[in-house]
Structure 1
Amino acid sequence: MNVVVPLLWIGITLAFYVAALRLYRRHRRWWTAPLLVTWLLCGLLLFLSRTPYPEYLRGAHWFVFLLGPATVAFALPVYRQRALIRHHGRTIAAGVVAGSLASLGSGWALAHLLHLPPEIEASLLPRSVTTPFALAVSERLGGIPELTASLTAATGLFGAAIGEGFLQWLPLRSKLAAGFGLGLRSVSCSFTSGAMLGMGAHGAGVARARERGDEAAAIAGLVMIFAGLLNVAGATLYVLARS
């Protein structure tokens, strides 16, 4: 029984994802994104069956474990697009730093505005980096890993689902930025869209960037990894300075 239940939840999650993927291929809308549909279906089933999240995680933790190798695998498309990345190196670095500061700053401001407890604040801060990095940062800051995982998933799904549509309403002036806002198929669009999706929606954003081509996927993967490393390094320095 101890083995059957975790395996059952793994099978259910995979079945939900396959069904959601088929739905998305037929109806490509932001609300049919496979990760979003799977997340909602799993949450609804847990609620209706009154299953505690730790019990579900006993089986589903393998999905979290596999995020590590999956993140490392992004090195291949990054290597293939190394010429493009080398050309935009300074822009990528500036964007990663600015995006990380904006993410951490907004999380800190929200936590203090709502007077959240320290452990909730620590769980909220790393929400904008991919799950393996977010869990490492949360643990170092004294956060709640389960809450961090949920917030990270929600951030990725939200960013990938509506972020692109939201950017169309911004007064983008530069050709590079406007390329992404208008959805044009160009190198500039691939660079900008990949960077925005990788920074704002991490893993879910990379999945969306893959639909735009190899260039966008490579940039999104690189930005996501660099943002994660920067956040882990920052959290480590913060803990060392506080101790």
Structure 2
Amino acid sequence: MAGLLCLATTLFIYGLSKRLYRIRPKVYLSPLLITPLVLVIGLLWAQIPYETYHTGGKWLSSMLQPATIAFAIPLYKYYNVLKKHAVEILISVLSGSVVAMFSSAFLAEWLHLDDQLITSLIPRSVTTPIAMNVSQVIGGVPNITAVFVILTGLLGAMLGPLVMKLFRIEGEVARGVLFGTSAHGTGTSKAFELSSLTGTISSISMILAALFTLGVAPMLIAVLHF
């Protein structure tokens, strides 16, 4: 019963924060930021353990993977554009994914984090369900990885427009690759605010980044000997 109440509360808070974001679309009012903050404060105040919350919240996590199928709709709509720019997208996403993993590993090493925390940080730039699976495979802590994924997405969505302005990135394909590779689902949501095509390119970039990370991360761990 407590789990169902936690699930209902999560949906209610998300619904309110999403409505607020539509009225005032600022990154700091993103449902992805507001919802977990309110939940954490509420759980601490009510002294509800995470295990109790997870009995209901786990259903939302389970829905992340099948929800990804919805990206097939815009991909089909812009198939010709994707085909035309396939090589550029593949090379850009592969480069971005490799840089993201290596920079995460070396930054964590420079900060003297322990090995398990480093491996949890490496897949931070891909969508949550795949990042958590990669983290588990390479010896990280999936729940910690999920936190890094959320922070990465929020920062990417916040800094993306500034980067585009600074480097004068005006092409829809380039903008889509930027958001999808660096900020996964959160960045893709921001990309769709710019245009349908930008969001579509971001969708495919996010999926490709996840696949590249899934293949490269275990090899990276083997090379770096964490």
TM-score normalized by the length of structure 2? 0.91
Q: CA deviation at 1:236?
A: 4.3
2:102 matched to which residue of 1? 105
Moved over 6 A (4+): 239-242
Gap runs ≥5 in structure 1: 180-187
Shift of 1:127: 0.6
Matched, 1:234 2:211: no
Note the C-alpha offset of 1:237. Answer: 4.3
With over 3 angstroms needed to count, the CA separation of the structure-2 counterparts of 1:84 and 1:168, relative to structure 1, is closer
Match of 2:142 in 1: 145
Deviations along 1:9-41, one digit per CA (max 9) or x if unpaired, are 111111011101111121122221222211221
Determine if contact 1:123/1:138 at 8 Å carries over to the other structure.
Answer: yes
Residues 118-155 of structure 1, C-alpha deviation per residue, up to 9 Å, x if partnerless? 11111110010001110111011111111111111121
Matched, 1:223 2:219: no
Partner of 1:202: 184
Separation in structure 1 between the aligned mates of residue 206 and residue 164 of structure 2, nearest angstrom: 22
Structure 2 unaligned runs (5+)? Answer: none
Amino acid at match of 2:113: L
8 Å CA contact 1:140–1:235 kept in 2: the answer is no
* In structure 2, C-alpha distance between the alignment counterparts of 1:237 and 1:167, rounded to whole Å: 30
Say whether 1:116 aligns with 2:113: yes
Task: Tell me how far 1:168 sits from its aligned partner.
Answer: 4.7
Q: Percent identity, aligned pairs only?
A: 34
Match of 1:128 in 2: 125
How many residue pairs match? The answer is 224
Paired residue type of 1:77:
P
Residues of 2 paired with 1:203 and 1:130: CA distance? Answer: 6
RMSD: 1.9
Q: What are the equivalent positions in structure 2 for 1:66-215 lying under 5 Å apart?
A: 66-160=63-157, 162-168=158-164, 170-172=166-168, 177=169, 179=170, 188=171, 190-215=172-197
Return the offset for 1:239.
Answer: 6.8
Contact 1:159 1:201 in 2 (8 A): yes
Alignment of 1:47-58 (within 5 A): 47-58=44-55
